[in-house]
């Protein structure tokens, strides 16, 4: 820009237009030529190098057009300045053209860097230092790079967690929003896993390191985001083809312009100016930015909300889906058993029977015991200690709770104790059996106090997820290896459209192909382990990850949280991304329908002409519009 200013001030054309005389001294007439030459070789060097590389790889594009435009302007101006031909030089047009092109290029790079800034922000989440505890409990502050698996760390209140690990001691609430998108702090106690880069709350934690450096969830997220931003999609291929054809059209249009105007009697100065303007205004600068910038922004928006796009093709295809197939266990359900329904005998509160039943099972390790204990904990029930615990294989367990001899078990327990079921409890047990659930009884003496229906509980979020998909016109299918009764019960409760039950992992692919054969575009949602073949077969594979295991290789998209509501969120992101891509392609290339003929001078007879610098302004303006429009994607996609 500084080199361009003297070129403008001493330009004869500018002096004539603005009716002033620049300071005169020996050689002043050559100032535009001297500064314009420096601008061409110095400011134009990125474009000249880029154009050479494009021609060398036989893929002419943006750099080729710019290089042609500034080289034609430079050679013609040099010939005029040396007096070899008569005409008006284009030094000021050349200098302003290069300056404006560099400004547009800088805006493009800045926009891309801003879009990819989430990766840098993720990297900043990790602290530089960690507090390690030795066997004696002495603390020592060490660099994070020196951490190893098995190290015991002290995580003080408000501190960032330096590595993935398991809580060994302490309780706290950890803010995981920057990794999983979950705004609510997650309670952590002994046995819970924590993620590197998350922020500890008010409590103090002692954490054993399970993953450092490239092994952490944060590193996995960064790899997936970077991979998605560099992977190619069909939309990108379309933009590349459009840029190639636009380059050819521009070169042909420039050649026609160079032939026609001299035949019509116009001077070479006018003709060269038209040629340069055509080459500049048709430059596919914005086309080169249109798709990558939208992709960079959409993948970072997804990452911030727990949606990791592993393959851009998957994000692109998600907008076309009409069927979503969910694996049941661990996807729509919690993957561990809970008490899904409690039916107590008359006069006994549900919470009370659950409290004492969990106490009886407190020392047991059977899944039924874990279901009772977990459910009591989730209901905020304090489970008392029991005494004289005894396991009765095949029947159940018994223990003394607050002075009462209580039994918990299945139908064999009722037979052993000769206990009679009241009608309400009998109907509850039959209902549980019909839904493929286990019926467990609480008995005192020979009186049955309650029946608990135990099953793999449905995630609360699943109801909203299925509803959102239905609202968007998608069919929802359940795929499970469980019994037909269990599958139908889950499908009925969630209002799922179809069920494939008792399907072995190796047969899941056939079910996906069966749906595809019906003309459906199918997404498969699973845990990425035994569902991997089906994820790869589906049009879009959506892998359920966890906060500490995001590098799921089978899916096109990975859900950091095990939240099925993220599936409709992916579809919404896909649709918004596609809209922005199409809008940007029109902003980047559509204006050339009018701009190229105008630049060539079709309206010259009416005194309407575009100067090369104005052509560069219009071309750069399309680049700026594309960049701004891509940034508006952040508003179009609303986080939950």
Q: Which of 284, 243, 278 is nearest to 69 (CA)?
A: 278
DSSP conformation class of 328: I
The SS3 assignment for 521 reads: coil
Across 539-566, average pLDDT = 71
Residues tagged active-site:
327
C-beta separation of 148 from 208 below 8 A? no
As a dihedral over the C-alpha atoms of residue 59, residue 60, residue 61, residue 67, rounded to 10 degrees, the angle is 140
Query: How many angstroms separate the CA atoms of 179 and 305, rounded?
Result: 8
pLDDT of residue 180: 56
How far does the chain reach from its first CA to its final CA, in angstroms? Answer: 45
Distances (CA, A) of 383 to 162, 345, 347, 350, 376: 35, 20, 20, 14, 7
Query: How many angstroms separate the CA atoms of 639 and 302, rounded?
Result: 9
44 forms beta bridges with none
pTM (predicted TM-score): 0.63
Query: How many angstroms separate the CA atoms of 500 and 586, rounded?
Result: 44
For residue 96, pLDDT over 50 is answered with yes
Q: Which of 325, 368, 329 is nearest to 490 (CA)?
A: 329
Among the listed ranges 142-156, 485-499, 602-616, which one has the minimum average pLDDT value? 602-616
Q: What radius of gyration, in Å, describes the C-alpha atoms of the chain?
A: 35
Distances (CA, A) of 84 to 80, 81, 434, 549, 584: 6, 8, 98, 71, 45
More confident residue, 36 or 54: 36
- Burial bucket for residue 283 (CB in 10 Å: 0-12, 13-18, 19+): buried
The SS3 assignment for 421 reads: coil
Distance of CA 374 to the CA centre of its chain: 33
Query: How many angstroms separate the CA atoms of 293 and 331, rounded?
Result: 33
Q: Which of 283, 240, 116 is nearest to 631 (CA)?
A: 116
118-143 burial by CB neighbour count: b if 16+ within 10 A, else e?
A: bbeebeebbbeebbbbeeeeeeeeee
For residue 611, pLDDT over 80 is answered with no
pLDDT of residue 119: 53
pLDDT of residue 256: 92
Q: Which of 320, 332, 229, 306 is nearest to 571 (CA)?
A: 320
pLDDT of residue 518: 94
pLDDT of residue 209: 93
The SS3 assignment for 39 reads: helix
Q: What is the pLDDT of residues 241-256, one digit of tens each?
A: 776 777 788 888 889 9
More confident residue, 449 or 587: 449
Domain boundaries, the chain: 148-211, 334-457
C-beta separation of 343 from 424 below 8 A? yes
Across 349-368, average pLDDT = 87
Query: How many angstroms separate the CA atoms of 51 and 64, rounded?
Result: 4
For residue 24, pLDDT over 50 is answered with yes
pLDDT of residue 519: 93
pLDDT of residue 94: 81
For residue 347, pLDDT over 60 is answered with yes
Query: How many angstroms separate the CA atoms of 15 and 28, rounded?
Result: 13
For residue 549, pLDDT over 50 is answered with no
Work out the angle at residue 494's Cα, subtended by the Cα atoms of residues 491 and 498, and round it to the nearest 5 degrees: 35
Residue 631 confidence class, pLDDT cut points 50, 70, 90: confident
Domains 148-211 and 334-457 share a fold: no
Q: What is the pLDDT of residues 417-462, one digit of tens each?
A: 988 888 899 999 888 878 778 789 999 988 999 999 888 778 889 9
Domain 148-211, classified CATH 2.40.160.10, yes or no: no
For residue 357, pLDDT over 50 is answered with yes
Residue 207 confidence class, pLDDT cut points 50, 70, 90: very high
Number of H helices, E strands in the chain: 25, 22
Structure tokens at 409: 């078990």
Across 509-534, average pLDDT = 85
pLDDT of residue 527: 72
DSSP conformation class of 366: S
Work out the angle at residue 520's Cα, subtended by the Cα atoms of residues 513 and 515, and round it to the nearest 5 degrees: 30
> Sheet holding 172-175: strands in order across?
186-188, 172-175, 199-200
Across 465-472, average pLDDT = 95
For residue 640, pLDDT over 50 is answered with no
**Fold assignment, 334-457:** Calcium-transporting ATPase, cytoplasmic domain N (3.40.1110)
Q: What is the pLDDT of residues 313-335, one digit of tens each?
A: 888 889 999 999 998 877 888 87
**Mean pLDDT score of the chain:** 82
Residue 409, H or E segment? strand 404-409
Pick from 507-511, 526-530, 621-625 the range whose average pLDDT is largest: 507-511
| CB-based contacts of 406, cutoff 8 Å, min separation 6 | 356, 357, 359, 360, 398, 399, 400, 442, 443, 444
Q: Which of 158, 160, 128 is nearest to 144 (CA)?
A: 128
C-beta separation of 164 from 198 below 8 A? no
Across 229-239, average pLDDT = 59
Work out the angle at residue 503's Cα, subtended by the Cα atoms of residues 499 and 506, and round it to the nearest 5 degrees: 135
């Amino acid at each position: 820009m500084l080199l361009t200013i003297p070129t403008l001030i001493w330009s004869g054309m500018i002096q004539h237009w603005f009716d002033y005389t620049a300071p005169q001294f020996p050689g002043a007439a050559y100032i535009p030529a001297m500064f314009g030459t420096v601008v061409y070789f110095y400011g134009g060097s990125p474009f000249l190098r880029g154009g050479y590389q494009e021609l060398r790889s036989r893929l002419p594009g943006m750099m080729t057009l710019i290089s042609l435009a500034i080289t034609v302007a430079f050679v013609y101006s040099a010939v005029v300045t040396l007096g070899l031909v008569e005409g008006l030089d284009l030094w000021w047009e050349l200098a302003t053209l290069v300056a404006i092109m560099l400004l547009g290029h800088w805006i493009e790079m800045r926009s891309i860097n801003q879009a990819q800034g989430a990766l840098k922000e993720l990297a900043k989440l990790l602290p530089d230092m960690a507090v390690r505890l030795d066997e004696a409990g002495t603390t020592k502050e060490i660099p994070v790079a020196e951490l190893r698996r098995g190290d015991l760390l002290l995580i003080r209140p408000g501190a960032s967690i330096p590595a993935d690990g398991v809580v060994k001691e302490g309780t706290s609430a950890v803010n995981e929003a920057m990794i999983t998108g979950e705004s609510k702090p997650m309670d952590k106690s002994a046995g819970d896993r924590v993620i590197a880069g998350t922020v500890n709350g008010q409590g103090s934690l002692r954490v054993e390191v399970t993953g450092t450096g490239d092994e952490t969830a944060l590193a996995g997220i960064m790899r997936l985001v970077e991979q998605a931003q560099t992977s190619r999609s069909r939309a990108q291929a379309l933009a590349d083809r459009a840029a190639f054809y636009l380059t050819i059209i521009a070169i042909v249009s420039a050649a026609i312009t160079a032939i026609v105007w001299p035949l019509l009697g116009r001077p070479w100065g006018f003709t060269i100016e038209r040629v340069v303007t055509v080459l500049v205004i048709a430059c596919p600068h914005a086309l080169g930015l249109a798709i990558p910038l939208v992709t960079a922004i959409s993948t970072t928006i997804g990452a911030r909300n727990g949606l990791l796009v592993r393959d851009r093709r998957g994000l692109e295809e998600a907008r076309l889906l009409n069927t979503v197939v969910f694996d049941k266990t661990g996807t729509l359900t919690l993957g561990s058993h809970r008490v899904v329904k409690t039916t107590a005998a008359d006069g006994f509160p549900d919470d009370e029977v659950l409290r004492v039943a969990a106490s009886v099972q407190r020392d047991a390790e059977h899944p039924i015991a874990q279901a009772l204990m977990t459910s009591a904990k989730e209901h905020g029930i304090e489970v008392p200690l029991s005494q004289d615990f005894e396991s009765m294989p095949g029947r159940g367990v018994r223990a003394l709770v607050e002075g009462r001899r209580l039994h918990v078990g299945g139908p064999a327990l009722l037979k052993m104790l000769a206990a009679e079921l009241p009608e309400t409890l009998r109907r509850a047990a039959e209902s549980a059996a019909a839904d493929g659930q286990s019926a467990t009884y609480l008995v005192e003496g020979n009186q049955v106090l309650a029946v608990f229906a135990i099953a793999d509980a449905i995630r609360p979020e699943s109801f909203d997820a299925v509803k959102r998909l239905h609202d968007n016109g998608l069919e929802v299918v359940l795929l499970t290896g469980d019994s037909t009764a269990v599958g139908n019960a889950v499908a009925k409760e969630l209002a799922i459209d179809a069920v494939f039950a008792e399907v072995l992992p190796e047969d899941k692919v056939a079910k996906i192909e069966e749906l595809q054969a019906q003309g459906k575009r199918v997404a498969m949602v699973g845990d990425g382990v035994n569902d991997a073949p089906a994820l790869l077969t589906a049009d879009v594979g959506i892998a359920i990850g966890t906060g500490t295991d995001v590098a799921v290789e089978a899916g096109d998209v990975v859900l950091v949280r095990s939240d099925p509501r993220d599936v409709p969120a992916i579809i919404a992101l896909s649709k918004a991304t596609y809209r922005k891509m199409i809008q940007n392609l029109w902003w980047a290339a559509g204006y050339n329908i009018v701009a190229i003929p105008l630049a060539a001078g079709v309206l010259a007879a009416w005194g309407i002409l575009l100067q090369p610098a104005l052509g560069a302004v219009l071309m750069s303006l399309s680049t700026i519009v594309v960049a701004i429009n891509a940034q508006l994607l952040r508003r179009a996609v609303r986080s939950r």
